[in-house]
Structure 1
Amino acid sequence: MSHQPTLARRLGTTDAVVIGLGSMIGAGVFAAFTPAAAAAGSGLLVGLVVAAFVAFCNATSSAQLAAVYPASGGTYVYGRERLGPWSGYLAGWGFIVGKTASAAAMAVTFAAYAAPSGWERPVAIAAVIGLAAVNYRGVTRTARLTRILVVVVLISLAVAVAAAWGGRGPAPLNILGEGLLAHGWYGIMQSAGLLFFAFAGYARIATMGEEVHNPRRAIPRAIGISLLITIIIYAVIAVTLLATIGPDGITDSATPLASAVGSGTWAWAAPVVRVGAAVAALGALLALVAGLGRTSLAMAREQDLPNWFAAVHPRYQVPHRAEVALAAVICAVIAVADLRGAIGFSSFGVLVYYLVANIAAFTQPAADRRYPKALQVIGAVACVSLVATLPQSSILTGVAVFVVGIGLRMLRLRQHR
């Protein structure tokens, strides 16, 4: 690796767990259940189990790799070290492009809950600028703000669940709807691919490995703890939504949790849900900006992005140029793009990212192993399977974007020669 300025280790295990929670809870609870219900109906429960298991397999690979390669960049670094430059590049490219779209979607989600009608895009752009400014001032400020946001979100979710059940009474038969397998296994696997989008936030912990104290111990622990907490929360929310408004109600609502609360007698809780959704989107966006900056830093160090992005701020110890540039790109995407397909497209990029992680972890020697190779095999096969079940538009867009990325790297290599 090139000799470049390094980032300061300022994060503890708790900080890493909070960043993982902020990344995962914001995306899934308020964004992923609607398309998952449309694909699988009540079978989204099975899809959630599949997505959680795939996430667990991928998390073990990320944790095992991060303990050996505690540097900024996550799977981009792991792919380069274990499989070669092209594998690392594909992982990094998938992460940056997919998560840039995801960051724009999270900003728009925040604005949908917080902005007056007609002001969604300006408010979303303002949110990106504000959070980029927080990230610019140092990773400890990022961790502190994320901790506040996560606490607010957890409180709002607790209120929402209580309001959904207490406001109308439980209806357990709604959970099954027409049956868990009514939409077939293809629908269930498609819902799993969409719900996997919600679990992918633990990658942010690995991408920030260069800033965590005692990374060999802290990163694997933080990944496991944050993923377990998130799985429990998602399971509670999924059962609550199905029991209160049923699969059709989830499909028909862009904000199913708010619909579940509004359908009961605790209407006073609806604003709490809106605040929670807005804050959750901010937490996810904050972690996304931080993770994108670190991956861009790693790619710039290896000349896969312009070396200009490899600069580290002398005072704040952050990749300030990369973060500013990415914030500008995210704002441009918000200003001009239709982001309705962002979940599927982001899932495509992230599944490619974890496919590389699983293969890289499979190649590690016995001395560096923490988990059986079978988990990496299952994780890799599952990533390919879930990609194949994503909506066709997401697959076509993802393939096109990767073709562009391959062309750009080939051009850069030719210029260097």
Structure 2
Amino acid sequence: MTGHKLGAWQGTALLVGAVLGPGMLVLPHLAAVSAGPASVLAWVGLLALSVPVAATFAALGTRNPGGGGVSAFVRPVFGPRVSAMVGWWFYGAVPMGTLAGALIGGQYVAASLDVTGTGASGLAGVVAGALLAGALAANAAGLRVSGRLQLVMVLTLVGLLVVAVAAAAPSMTTAYFAPFAPYGLAGVADAAGVLLFAFVGWEVASHLSGEFADRRRGLIRATGATLAVIAVLYLGVAFVATGTGATRSPVPLTVLLEMGVGPVARPVTGVVTLLLTFGAVNTYIAGAARLGAALAAEGALPRRFADPAGGVRRSLGLLATLTVGVAVVALVSGLGVDPLMRATSACLAAVTTAGTAAAIPTLTGGRRAVAVTATISSGVATAFCGWYLLVPLALAAVAILGFRARPALAVRGR
């Protein structure tokens, strides 16, 4: 981004886009399945834990304008092996996360066409496959979703959520909040594990400081505004979806909109969701392809995945293979959106924890104290992932073994 500096509202829009994603279209339902109405406690708790995390990444970005993100912060503190682990956590999360996102789009398309039962599952799978194939093909052809188009998509999602909450709020009733905690505190913790999908992305703030017109305070202000926007949106959706019974549907946004605007909401929501999902999937695949090429160049992935011309097609091919593998496992085992999102959340939560831990020796004074709080908060949130933490643990083992197979690269710190 050159020649143009971000103002506070533009920076806020970018940060909102990093944290808010299509997962919000299904998370109220998945959280309610785990905890019932008490899932609202998980939303509130994770918002509170997000405050020091967001503040820490904003402080890192302000201290190191234009920094390279979590990997760049982790490497000088914990070394190249841990940096490779962080890269693998993100790279490994993308096939699972994009498949989950594509399935969400498929579910909304099926709902928009009034397809139910096994037919809905089949149609959702077909739509998900088409979305993933289209995104992979677009990236292979060098196509990208422009920053402006991505911003439009984010604003569209925000608008949909605001309209849905405002339209359905008059239909709320306390009857849907009883029994409040049918699965106890264990259910709330379980709900937090899947809701983490909606609370990762704050590390993007560390990339943006150098792009603000006001380098000292621009990112800090944008982070504060983003926290406020996210809090209003998340709590609004959580409480209204619970209070109207919309969480009982796997497509809660459609239910909320139908309460306010009638049957026309169904096809409109299906089309908009399809576009939003494709934009998000395409963007994550593009970022992961570049990350894979960088990991290969550094020796954290086999060298053959580093395109000699500086491109990303080899990494993209690996990403496509991994995505197909995850899809086959999901199809054979019957895995749905919920476990895919939980596994993705576990990986991304591990990335966040590594970043906040690296901030402790990097920052000073009060900011270091906030970083300590952020690391504790991230650790607590990561613990909610439960046995899904085996996924980042397995990826960490692969990363470490990869470096042991390339000792010369590891010694050179590459």
Q: TM-score, normalised by structure 1?
A: 0.79
Query: In 2, are the aligned partners of 1:36 and 1:194 still within 8 Å (CA)?
Result: yes
Letter in 2 for 1:411: A
Shift of 1:349: 0.8
Choose which of 149, 162, 165 in structure 2 pairs with 1:161.
Answer: 165
Choose which of 390, 395, 410 in structure 2 pairs with 1:396.
Answer: 390
Paired residue total: 392
**Hey, what's the Cα distance between the residues in 1 that align with 2:221 and 2:19?**
16
Query: In 2, are the aligned partners of 1:72 and 1:294 still within 8 Å (CA)?
Result: no
Shift of 1:149: 1.2
Deviations, residues 2-54 of structure 1 (Å, cap 9, x unaligned): xxxxxx65775366544433343324321322222122222222211211122
Tell me if 1:170 matches 2:172: yes
**Hey, what's the Cα distance between the residues in 1 that align with 2:390 and 2:215?**
38
Shift of 1:220: 4.8
Alignment of 1:95-174 (within 5 A): 95-114=90-109, 118-131=122-135, 133=138, 141-166=145-170, 169-171=171-173, 173-174=174-175
**Hey, what's the Cα distance between the residues in 1 that align with 2:231 and 2:51?**
10
Which stretch of structure 1 is more off in the superposition, 101-110 or 209-218?
Answer: 209-218
**Hey, what's the Cα distance between the residues in 2 that align with 1:25 and 1:416?**
36
**Hey, what's the Cα distance between the residues in 2 that align with 1:194 and 1:390?**
7
Which stretch of structure 1 is more off in the superposition, 303-312 or 68-77?
Answer: 303-312
Alignment of 1:24-103 (within 5 A): 24-70=19-65, 73-103=68-98
Give the match for residue 406 of structure 1: 400
Give the match for residue 196 of structure 1: 196
RMSD: 3.6
Change (3 A) 1:85 1:401: closer
Gaps of at least 5 residues in structure 2 are: 114-118
Choose which of 291, 295, 318 in structure 2 pairs with 1:299.
Answer: 295
Change (3 A) 1:128 1:295: same
Letter in 1 for 2:329: A
Shift of 1:414: 7.0
**Hey, what's the Cα distance between the residues in 1 that align with 2:128 and 2:209?**
30
Give the match for residue 116 of structure 2: none
**Hey, what's the Cα distance between the residues in 1 that align with 2:139 and 2:214?**
24
**Secondary structure of 2:201 counterpart:** helix
Change (3 A) 1:378 1:73: same
Letter in 1 for 2:401: G
Q: TM-score, normalised by structure 2?
A: 0.79
Gaps of at least 5 residues in structure 1 are: 1-7
Over the matched positions of the two proteins, sequence identity in percent amounts to 24
Change (3 A) 1:94 1:376: same
Change (3 A) 1:38 1:293: same
Shift of 1:102: 0.6
Alignment of 1:258-297 (within 5 A): 258-262=254-258, 266-297=262-293
Deviations, residues 226-245 of structure 1 (Å, cap 9, x unaligned): 34322221111111111101
Deviations, residues 349-400 of structure 1 (Å, cap 9, x unaligned): 111111111111111143xx6x5333322322233333333253x2334433
Query: In 2, are the aligned partners of 1:58 and 1:376 still within 8 Å (CA)?
Result: yes
